[in-house]
Amino acid sequence: MDSLEDTDTLLALLSSLLPDNVAPSQQSLLDALLHADGDVRKAAEIMLKRGPTGKRKRHVSLDSWLTPAAASSSSKDVNGQSSSRDNSDPVLQSRCGAGERPNKKPRSSAAGSTSTATKKENGPPPLSKPVKPVKNLLDVLRQPIGGAAATATVPRLPPLTLSNPSLVAQHTPLTLHLAVLPLELACQLFYTMLHEAQYWSRNKWWLFDRLVESPHRSSLYTRHPVEGDNEAAWQRITRAWYNGRQGEVTKQFPALMEEACKIVEKTVNAEMGKRKRFPLEWGGDPGDPDGQRLTWRANFAAANCYEGAKEAVGFHSDRLTSIGPYPTIASLSLGTRRMFRLREVIALDEVGKRAAQTFDIPLPHNSLCIMHASAQERFKHSIPPRNTIDRFHPPYPPPPDLPELAFDPGNCRINITFRFFRPDFHPDTIPRCKCDEMTTLRPDMKGRQRGWEGEDGKGPPRSPVASGGAERATGYWWTCTAGDQNEGKGCGFWKVMDVRAEGRGPFVSDLSLSE
C-alpha cells in the first residue's frame, strides 16, 4: 500500500510518540509542530516539556522515553535513529532545511548517513530487529478526527454518503459503475483472487523505531509477460511498491483477471472520452498489444484482500512514482460490500476558510470505482474498519478444480486496482536519493509550492505545464522513502519535480499544442 503522509500523519506520529498520560488537544499538537518547524521529534520534546496543559514541567528527554533500557547504552543506535527521523511531509522537511529549496538552513544533523551507506552496500536490513514489536498500523496511528482542518475555526462538515453513481459523479472526480462484469465472471474472479490471497503479504514499513504492518493483505500483478530490460524495470517497480522490500515477486494476471481487465478498460475509456482532460495526464500512445486502440490501458494491478470487518487501509493518496501525475486508477470490488471513504485535502490558502468534506461511497460486489485524473491530487482515500459487515452470498459455487479456500468468501472483500505504468516514469528516470534508492513522487496536495511563489516570488520555477493547468495548480515532489525499510532512517532528500528538465511526457498538453 502507499504510505501515509502530510500534516495529519505528522499529528498522528507526534501523538503516537507521547506517553499515554499525555493527551493533548489537536491544537496544541499543531502548535508544537509549528514551533518545532515541523520536526516531529522536536515537537515531541516540546510536548513532553510542556505537559498536556501547556505548563512547563520537569524535562524528560524523548530518547529516554522512546529507548528501551537495553538499547539505551548504544548511543550510536539511538543517535542514528533519532537524528535521521524523517518527516514524509516535504514542506515540514523544507522548514528543517532538507532538500533543495533555495536559502535552505543546514540540516539539523547529518548523522545516520554513514550507517545508512554501510547498510545499503549489503542491501536493506532484514525486517527482523524492531526496537518495538511489529504493530498494526491503525493501532500506531491514532488518526486525528477530522484532520488538520478540524483545528481551524470553520465548523466540521459531517460525512456525506454518496449512495449512487450520479451522486458520486456530482461530488467527486470519481465515477461508480455497478454490475460491471458478467455475473459469473465476477464471481469466479472473486474465488480465484481469494485463493491467491493466501499467498499475499501484509506490507511492512518503518515509522520511526516501529515496524508497522498494513491491516490487510496485498499483492502486485503485471499484465503481460515481461522480458529482458523490462523485467529489471518491473523488479524495481515491484520493490518500490513493497516499500523497498527485496525478494517480492511480481505475479502475472490470472486468465480471469485478464478477461475482466478488458471490460474494465472499455468502461474506463468510454468514461474518459466524456471528461475534461488535465494537461499533465499521459498524452502518449499506451500501446495496443491486443490490437485495440485505447487512451488508457492497464498494464499492472494491485490487489487487496480485506478479511472481516476490521481489516482496512488508512487514508493515503496513491504513490505516483510509476504512474505519474493525474493518473486514472480503476478499482474493482468483489465480495463483501465495504465503504470507500474519500477526504478532501484543503490547500493551505483555504485552511480556516472552508472545511474538508468527507465522502462515503459504498462499494458493492462487482462495482468499478474509477478514480479519475485529479483524485490523487485533491483527495485521500481509505477503507475504514467497521464494527460489522454484511455477509456476502456468492451467486455461484466455487469452481470444482479450485483447492479449498483459506478464507471464508462470505466475509471477505477483494479489490483490484488497475493502473497504467507510464513509460516516461520508467525506474531508470526516477531521481535517486542520498541513500541511493529510488525516490517517491508525491503531489503537493496543500499547495505549498504556490505559497512559495506567492510569498517572495522566489519559489522553484514551474512551467504552466507543471501546474497541471487546473484552477488549483498542483506541484510534485520527489522524496526519500528509504527509511520505510531502513529502521525509519532516510536521508531527508526531496526535490521539486520539473517535468521539462526531467524530459517527461508526452502530456495531454503536448497533444493539444500539436493539434
Residues at the contact surface with ligand AKG, assessed by CB under 6 A:
1-2, 302, 304, 313, 318, 331, 340, 381, 383, 415, 417
The minimum distance between CB 288 and ligand AKG, in angstroms, equals 26
Minimum CB separation of residue 187 from ligand AKG in Å reads: 19
| Distance between CA atoms of residues 358 and 156, nearest Å | 10
Residue 188 or 415 having the CB closest to ligand AKG = 415
Residue with Cβ nearer Fe ion (202 or 434): 202
From Fe ion, ligand AKG, none, which one binds at residue 304 (CB under 5 to 8 Å depending on kind)? Answer: ligand AKG
The listed partner (ligand AKG, Fe ion, none) that binds 302, CB under 5 to 8 Å by sort, is: ligand AKG
**Residue 373, C-beta contacts closer than 8 angstroms, at least 6 positions apart:** 173, 275, 277, 278, 281, 326, 327, 328
Nearer to Fe ion, 2 or 350 (CB): 2
In 3D space, the residue among 220, 297, 240 whose CA is nearest the CA of residue 440 turns out to be 240
Write the burial class of residue 395 (CB in 10 Å: 0-12 exposed, 13-18 middle, 19+ buried).
exposed
Nearer to ligand AKG, 312 or 356 (CB): 312
Contact 375, 427 (CB under 8 A): no
Question: If contact means CB under 5 to 8 A according to the sort of partner, which of ligand AKG, Fe ion, none does residue 340 touch?
Answer: ligand AKG
Whole-number Å distance between alpha carbons of 162 and 340: 10
CB atoms under 10 Å from CB of 401, counted, come to: 5
Q: Which is nearer to ligand AKG, 92 or 414 (by Cβ)?
A: 414
Q: In what order do the strands lie in the sheet with 313-316?
A: 160-161, 358-363, 338-344, 379-383, 313-316
Residue 366 interacting partner from ligand AKG, Fe ion, none (CB closer than 5 to 8 Å by kind): none
Q: Which does 9 bind (CB under 5 to 8 A by kind): Fe ion, ligand AKG, none?
A: none
Say which residues have a Cβ less than 8 Å from residue 11's Cβ, sequence separation at least 6. Answer: 26, 29, 30, 33, 144, 148
Q: Which is nearer to Fe ion, 8 or 318 (CB)?
A: 318
CB of 379 to ligand AKG, least distance (A): 11
Residue with cell 521529534: 41
Which residues of this chain interact with Fe ion, rule CB under 5 A?
A: 318
In the bound state, the residue with its beta carbon closest to Fe ion is: 318
Q: Which of Fe ion, ligand AKG, none has residue 415 at its interface (CB below 5 to 8 Å by kind)?
A: ligand AKG
- At closest approach, how far in Å is the CB of 429 from Fe ion? 23
Give me the least distance between CB of 376 and Fe ion, in Å please: 8
HEC string for 352-406: CCCCCCEEEEEECCCEEEEECCCHHHHEEEEECCCCCCCCCCCCCCCCCCCCCCC
Q: Which CB atom, from 318 or from 484, has the smaller least distance to Fe ion?
A: 318
State the amino acid at position 476 in one-letter form: Y
- As a whole number of Å, the end-to-end CA separation of the chain is 39
In angstroms, give the least distance from the CB of 79 to Fe ion.
35
